[in-house]
């Protein structure tokens, strides 16, 4: 059987980053817990507590949970309602399918002024005559009983006949207690007459046989279920089951790629191809002490909450110059690893462009010369030597030379243009 431990609560508090002092909701159902303990010391801020489907026999160690609003203790072995007076904020209590026979124990809930929902379905007390009227009259703050609304007229009638109903309830409780005593005597006689054959019973015979619905039978049922689970995990043929060992290096000693946590990392290189950059997403509120970074020349390893992310690098990096930073906004871990032998920077060598050099001629004034002579010299210097004044060329008509000696100049033939 299981007991409540700190590691158990921390494991169930993953949604709260493993912190238990500020935990507001805790689920410890189906864990075969026999006793409620430590919760009121470790989780003072609890508002919702799930403890259904366990083997709890007594309500205890919850009185310090002043902020508790919902307590689920369905499918346990509880017989008496008690020790809930300190739960000042309790609004809903679920005791479905327990063994509550002492119905008068609900009087301990009178001080829980905010209690609106109470579930007692599946308990022996539900079969008592006047059960609903007694509960409604005893707890005037209730708005729903077993999921059914409590009407005002129903409450008035119950309060009017409260004294007579309470007498009936006390008789029903005494009758139920005598019945339990007889059943226990019969069980003790049967246990002395018949040997214990539980070990030789098969699963089929165990689940098919009829039995009384009691806390003891529920214990046997849980024990049988645990036995079946353990038998499935036992190694076959008597050989111990070999646990798979974690391997981070191959037989040759080279590092291997490992991603135990299935992290969606991003590995890239810088634009100048001089460094590797590893971006590892982490929980925003994860304590940095739970993260370990190890940069080696050929690989990088990140250990986060016990899970390893190891990546092989195809080039050696400088471990001394590597840095690891964490974003304060996203929580991501950014690891920069400069390469040990970065590529030589390529320079863009281009042919020099042909530049047209223009010499600016400046006008210099010589005081020894007159303005007129200076201007005359400027115009003379700026006139290119190869530029000559324009002249009209005379069109010289060349006589057409004929090669034929028999040429006759006919005046009737028009001249060629």
Q: For residue 399, give both structure tokens.
A: 């006589």
Tell me the β-bridge partners of 117.
Answer: 92, 144
Task: Judge if 126 and 27 occupy the same domain.
Answer: yes
The pLDDT assigned to 96 comes to: 95
What is the predicted pLDDT for the residue at 347? 46
Is 169 in contact with 134 (CB distance < 8 Å)? Answer: yes
Q: Is residue 225 part of a domain?
A: no
Mean pLDDT of 29-54: 92
Section 17-22 average pLDDT: 85
Q: What pLDDT shows up at residue 304? A: 85
Percentage of the chain exceeding pLDDT 70? 74
Residue 199 has pLDDT above 50, yes or no: no
Same domain, 168 and 270: no
Mean pLDDT of the chain: 81
Q: Are residues 140 and 289 in the same domain?
A: no
* pTM exceeds 0.75, yes or no: no
Mean pLDDT of 283-305: 84
Q: What is the mean pLDDT of residues 68-95?
A: 94
- On whether both 68 and 173 belong to a single domain, the answer is yes
268: left (phi over 0), alpha (psi -120 to 50) or beta: beta
354 pLDDT tier (thresholds 50, 70, 90) = very low
Whether residue 414 is predicted with pLDDT greater than 70 in this model: the reply is yes
Tell me what the mean pLDDT of segment 174-189 comes to.
Answer: 86
Domain assignment present for 69? yes
| Mean pLDDT, residues 23-40 | 91
Residue 205 has pLDDT above 90, yes or no: no
Residue 213 lies in a domain: no
Residue at 155 is within a domain:
yes
Q: Lowest mean pLDDT of 69-83, 116-130, 230-244, 326-340, name the range.
A: 230-244
Question: Does pLDDT of 6 surpass 60?
Answer: yes
Say if residue 172 is in the same domain as residue 288: no
Number of CB atoms found within 10 A of residue 233's CB = 7
More confident residue, 17 or 159: 159
CA atoms within 13 A on the CB side of 66: 0
| Phi, psi angle pair for 301, to nearest 5° | -130, 130
Flag whether pLDDT at 71 surpasses 90: yes
The pLDDT value given to residue 75: 92
Mean local confidence (pLDDT), 303-328: 88
Q: Looking at the 3D structure of the chain, how many domains does it have?
A: 2
- Pick left, alpha or beta for residue 38 (phi over 0 → left; psi -120 to 50 → alpha; otherwise beta): left
Q: Is residue 13 part of a domain?
A: yes
Can you read off the two tokens belonging to residue 88?
A: 């000042």
Residue 376 has pLDDT above 80, yes or no: no
The whole-number pLDDT of residue 234 equals: 56
Give 38 or 363, the one with higher predicted confidence. Answer: 38
Could you tell me if residue 82 is inside a domain? yes
Of the two residues 53 and 247, the one the predictor is more confident about is 53
Same domain, 138 and 274: no
Asked if residue 222 is part of any domain, the answer here is: no
Give the whole-number percent of the chain exceeding pLDDT 90. 43
> Considering Cα of 191, then 197, then 199, then 201, what sign does the dihedral take?
negative
The model's confidence at residue 216, banded by pLDDT at 50, 70 and 90, is confident
Q: Residue 62 pLDDT more than 80?
A: yes
Between CA 293 and CA 302 the distance in angstroms is 5
Residue 380, in any domain of the structure: no
* Same domain for 311 and 173: no
Report whether 374 contacts 366 (CB < 8 A): yes
Quote the pLDDT of residue 246.
78
pLDDT exceeds 90 at position 102? yes
Q: Which of 144, 177, 210 is the last residue of a domain?
A: 177
Same-domain status, 267 and 153: no
- Among 295, 315, 338, the domain-final residue is 338
- For residues 121 and 105, give the distance between their C-alpha atoms in angstroms, rounded to a whole number: 16
| Angle between helical axes of 152-160 and 131-138 (0-180°, round to 10) | 100
Q: For the domain that residue 317 is a member of, what is the CATH number?
A: 2.60.40.790
Residues 152 and 53 in one domain: yes
- Rounded CA-CA distance 119/122 in Å is 9
Domain extent at residue 149: 6-177
Residue 249 has what pLDDT? Answer: 87
Which of 135, 154, 177 corresponds to the end of one domain? 177
The residues that bridge with 312 in the sheet, in sequence order, are 299
Q: What is the CATH number of the domain that holds 118?
A: 3.80.10.10
Of the two residues 85 and 330, the one the predictor is more confident about is: 85
């Amino acid at each position: 059987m299981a007991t409540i431990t700190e590691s158990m609560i921390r494991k169930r508090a993953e949604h709260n980053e493993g912190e238990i002092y500020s935990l507001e909701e805790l689920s410890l159902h189906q864990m075969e817990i026999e006793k409620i303990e430590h919760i009121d010391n470790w989780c003072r801020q609890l508002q919702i507590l799930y403890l259904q489907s366990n083997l709890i026999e007594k309500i205890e160690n919850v009185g310090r949970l002043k902020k508790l609003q919902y307590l689920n203790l369905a499918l346990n072995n509880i017989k008496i309602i008690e020790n809930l007076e300190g739960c000042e904020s309790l609004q809903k209590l679920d005791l479905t399918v327990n063994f509550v026979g002492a119905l008068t124990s609900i009087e301990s809930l009178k001080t829980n002024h905010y209690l609106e929902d109470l579930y007692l379905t599946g308990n022996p007390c539900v079969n008592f005559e006047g059960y609903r009227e007694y509960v409604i009259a005893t707890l005037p703050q209730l708005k729903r009983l077993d999921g059914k609304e409590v009407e005002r007229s129903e409450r008035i009638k119950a309060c009017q006949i409260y004294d007579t109903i309470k007498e009936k309830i006390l008789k029903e409780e005494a009758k139920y207690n005598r019945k339990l005593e007889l059943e226990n005597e019969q069980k003790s006689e049967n246990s002395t007459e018949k040997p214990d054959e539980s070990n030789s019973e098969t699963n089929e015979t165990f689940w098919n046989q009829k039995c009384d619905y009691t806390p003891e039978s529920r214990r046997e049922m849980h024990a049988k279920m645990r036995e079946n689970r353990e038998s499935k995990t036992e190694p076959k043929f008597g050989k111990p089951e070999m646990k798979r060992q974690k391997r981070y290096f191959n037989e040759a000693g080279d590092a291997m790629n490992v991603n135990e946590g299935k992290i969606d990392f991003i590995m890239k290189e810088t634009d100048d191809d001089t460094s590797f950059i590893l971006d590892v997403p982490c929980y925003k509120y994860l304590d940095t002490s739970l993260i370990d970074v190890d940069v080696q020349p050929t690989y990088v390893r990140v250990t986060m909450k016990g899970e390893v992310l190891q990546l092989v690098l195809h080039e050696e990096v400088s471990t001394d110059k590597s840095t690891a930073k964490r974003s304060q906004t996203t929580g991501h871990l950014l690891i920069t690893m400069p390469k040990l032998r970065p590529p030589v920077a390529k320079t863009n060598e281009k042919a020099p462009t042909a530049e047209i050099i223009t010499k600016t001629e400046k006008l210099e004034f010589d005081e020894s010369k007159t303005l007129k002579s200076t201007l005359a010299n400027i115009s003379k210097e700026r006139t290119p030597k190869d530029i000559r004044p324009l002249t009209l060329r005379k069109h010289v008509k060349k006589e057409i030379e004929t090669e034929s000696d028999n040429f006759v100049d006919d005046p009737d033939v028009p001249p060629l243009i």
